Amino acid sequence: MEPPISFSALQSPSPQPPPAFRVRLAAIGEAWQIIWKDVWPWVILMFLLMVSTSIVQVPMQFAIQFSMMPGLNQSGARGSQSQANPFQGLDLSPVMFVGLGILGIAMIGIQGFVNTMPQRFTLRKLRGSPATINDMFSFDGTAWRVVFWWSLFPLIAGVVPALLMISAIFGAGGFSLHPENVIFSPVVWLAYGISIVWFLAAQTLFSFVPLLIVDQGLSVVDAAKLSVTTLARHALPMFGVVYICAAFLSGLGACACYVGFFVTGCLQQATIGVVYNDFFRRVEPPREQAGSYPRPQW
């Protein structure tokens, strides 16, 4: 015979079990269900991402072509040397190098800012908040902090790889002296591998920073610290689920003449929103039922 339910049990019901603190592969399927139920906002997001990226890529391509013009316009012996050594055709002055770096940071910043929109949009849908096209651009007053973070992220993820590659290239002789030795140098390939690992690790550990800024109103520094401490034990699953599986499925839309990419392109960012909600799910306090005991004393 089961014991009767006490009044204390009725007064304070057992809380919901906490979300599993792990990165689930099923998050990709949940993200796809969210996208498929309402496709058009995601198509608009992908169109906006492509347009904003092209705005920065076009001047960058012109700058690279302009930097190669001095080597292409030379004639005689210099022209024959340029054909034998393609690295001599690239004339990067310090001003041009800094300019290309600024354009690269701007491109990553714009892409990151636009990629935060589907993450935030997914989070709103999961939590039952208004999620229309107008709400897609809502950052709750934290837009400038998000922009600042995505302008800072290339420095965090790129400074160490840049220093490694520059040191390895000059250690192997430099492009101007022995370009063939640089290409086949084991030191350069080792530095290149470490640079890729560093960039992927930074991208994985800081995945939650934009949503922590928008959702919890944290500062950039606090959001970065919390993201790293949260994902430190889940770095490999996070990388495998989001940056391999979800990214691969996102790119499958490009196989259909790039038309399907407008639908599947946001799958990776939507998956980040689902995973973030698993770790930072809002738990609402239990509502008091009418007529519950104890009643207030008058």
Whether the predicted pLDDT of 91 surpasses 60: no
Q: Could you tell me the two tokens for 107?
A: 């491109």
Write the pLDDT tens digit of every residue in 175-234.
Answer: 555 555 566 677 778 888 888 899 899 999 999 999 999 999 999 999 999 999 999 999
Give me the residue spans of the domains in the chain: 37-72+88-129+137-279
Which residue has better confidence, 162 or 235?
Answer: 235
The pLDDT of residue 59 is: 67
From 218-232, 249-263, 281-295, the region with the lowest mean pLDDT: 281-295
The pLDDT of residue 231 is: 94
Q: What distance lies between CA 278 and its chain's CA centroid?
A: 18
Banded model confidence at residue 89, pLDDT cuts 50, 70, 90: very low
Whether the predicted pLDDT of 10 surpasses 50: no
Q: Record the pTM.
A: 0.75
Banded model confidence at residue 51, pLDDT cuts 50, 70, 90: confident
From 29-43, 91-105, 220-234, the region with the lowest mean pLDDT: 91-105
Q: In this prediction, what percent of the chain has a pLDDT beyond 70?
A: 66
Note every long-range contact of 68-74, with CB atoms under 8 Å and residues 24 or more positions apart, other chains counting.
none
Q: What distance lies between CA 132 and its chain's CA centroid?
A: 23
The pLDDT of residue 241 is: 93
Which residue has better confidence, 275 or 99?
Answer: 275
> How far is it, in rounded angstroms, from Cα 176 to Cα 89?
10
Could you write out the DSSP letters of every residue in 212-255? HHHHH---HHHHHHHHHHHHGGGHHHHHHIIIIIIHHHHHGGGG
